[in-house]
Amino acid sequence: MKKTPFNPIFLLLLLLVFPFCKSEKKVQVDVVTVRLESDPDRLNPMLSSVGFATDVFRYMFYPLVDIDPATLELKPVLVTNLPVKSTVKGGENDGLTSYEFEILPEAKWDNGSDITANDFIFTLKAVFNPAVGAERWRALLSFIKDVKIDEKNSKKFKVVTTEDYFLSDPILGSVNIYPEYLYDPNKLLRTFSIADLVNREKSAQLTDDPKLKQFAESFTDAKYSRDPKFVSGAGPYILTEWQTGQQLVLEKKQNWWGDKLAGKYPMLTAYPQKLVFRIIPDETAMMGFLRDGSLDVAGSISPSQYNNLNGDAQITSKYNIFTPTVLQYYYFAMNNKDAILSDVKVRKAIAHLMDLDGAIGLLDGLGERITGPFHPSKPYYNHNLKPVPFDMNTATTLLDEAGWKDTDKDGIRDKVINGKPTKLSVTISFGANSDIGKKLSLMLQENGKKAGIDFVLDSREMSQVMGDVKAGKFQMSPLKNRLDPLPDDPFNSWHSATATGGGGNRVGYSNPEADKIIEKIRTEYNVAERNKLYEKFQEILYNDQPVVFLFAPKEPVIISKKFPDAKPTIIKPGFTLNYFH
């Protein structure tokens, strides 16, 4: 047989091609590095109050169902199908509405045990434990009456509800499930029935129960918020590292059960083997990391930096830049229980001191003025309400009518409140690394001087600011509120029942008429009628001015070209890392 002569050119081609192929194989991205503005307050979904925490724990703690970031439809996550609604027939719950769920047979915890209905019930018990500060979740789930487990299948259960709530499916399904074996190793909550804990009267009688207090002390301990050995959920990733002020690292679980089901249940998709969240508060530092390619994803970018990004060839050659309209709005929170800010005329005066058209300029046009708590893209947003104009004359007139005069001629108005001379001084607390929050506060401070209001600026870590806001220990704060694609339920943020310490109504707003409309919204299935209720509710808020509604932003998102198929989403933070590959 004739031998093929050796060809040196062929060898050269092999040397060129094979290293290239090997390099291409390395480009199969297993690690995604993303910028995080600040450290989370804690990685405990039930107790966290900071959006940065959600950006991390969403990959660790999974709910039963969730919103698909691409289609914005409700999809199964840990369950076989979306819940099945039915009417209970017979027994003590006769005539009530129930929702049936069945957890996926393959779904397992990190220790190999099955995720069952008992874990869902345990999670609810933790929520309704009066010693646990989970007021926000309790308000959302207040329509639950009981949970019944199928006698033949521990993964199948029905949630019985006290009212026919129009968002029952997504709200019940959105609960992040906790593993009982890890968070309650002594099974302290097994002593109590879910029916008793969700019942307000019976729950109130259990407030001082030693077992409930013991569980609460353990559950709220720092180890269940940041220790990798004690922070775990049903999602594909576990916490392996948290260096405060530096980075958090999530690594994918070995042989995660969801991988085999991702084809049928896309919400279980989890491509990257590691997610690295680098804490980079300063945007100038962020730009440096982007230029050298050490970041893959960045969001929460200020408009000024957005312009710098577009003009930087080093960055545009490596990254795609998007500007999705995210479901979020900015507002100035005002403590309605404060001695000064409890007066609606003072709140309205402050609203007239906001040069919001100028504020939009701070966003370089990447925003739209709003007049209420719903996103302008929603069909029931009340476009008939006109944005409060910047009007110094109206502001000073309102302050005069409220009895605030500059009696000692020092440039700051004063008034006697409860027999005590009081200066019209209001402290604005904002995150030290919030560029927009700082600029808005400075703007209001400058305009306030002309109207006789002394706005005192208090710049601190955002987690500290949010801690005080949550506890009601603040006067004003520039904040942003995340929304979702579902129809809005104003109950948690605006009903007087949630205006307690730790509740979702952080500004302490209370109006009996608004309460009645909110309650009607929750049970109105006719879309046209519900939209009318939404519009009326917005009118009431507009007249009460419990906060200063500012604008809904478009938020720049930058994603490495290593991920050619990666697309932004309108759901905050504008991207979903588990789909990156």
Say if 38 falls within a structural domain: no
Domain count for the chain, please give it. Answer: 3
Say if 42 falls within a structural domain: no
Mean pLDDT of 404-408: 96
Q: Quick check: 22 pLDDT over 70?
A: no
Residue with token string 């026919």:
164
**Helices 392-401, 344-352: inter-axial angle, 10-degree rounding:** 170
CB neighbour burial string for 538-565, b if at least 16 within 10 angstroms, e if fewer? bbbbbebbbbbbbbbbbbbbbbbebbee
Q: CATH number of the domain that 290 lies in?
A: 3.40.190.10
Q: CATH number of the domain that 424 lies in?
A: 3.10.105.10
Model pLDDT for residues 279-335, shown as the tens digit of each residue: 999 889 999 999 999 999 998 887 778 878 888 899 999 999 998 878 889 999 999
**Confidence band, pLDDT 50/70/90 cuts, at residue 12:** very low
Q: Average model confidence (pLDDT) for the chain? A: 90
Question: Which residue range(s) make up the domain with 479?
Answer: 328-553
Residue with token string 């402050």:
350
Query: Are 563 and 446 within one domain?
Result: no
Q: Using an 8 Å Cβ cutoff, are 496 and 510 in contact? A: yes
pLDDT of 524: 92
Amino acid at site 141 = L
Model pLDDT for residues 489-542, shown as the tens digit of each residue: 999 899 999 997 667 899 999 999 999 999 999 989 899 999 999 999 999 999
**Confidence band, pLDDT 50/70/90 cuts, at residue 24:** very low
Q: Quick check: 8 pLDDT over 70?
A: no
Of 166, 192, 226, the residue at which a domain comes to its end is 226
Query: Are 206 and 283 within one domain?
Result: no
Model pLDDT for residues 320-372, shown as the tens digit of each residue: 999 887 888 999 999 999 999 999 999 999 999 999 877 776 666 777 899 99
Query: Are 263 and 130 within one domain?
Result: no
Q: Quick check: 126 pLDDT over 70?
A: yes
Residue with token string 């609810």:
124
* Least confidently predicted of 61-65, 153-157, 160-164, 252-256: 160-164
Model pLDDT for residues 56-96, shown as the tens digit of each residue: 999 999 999 999 998 889 999 999 999 999 999 999 999 99
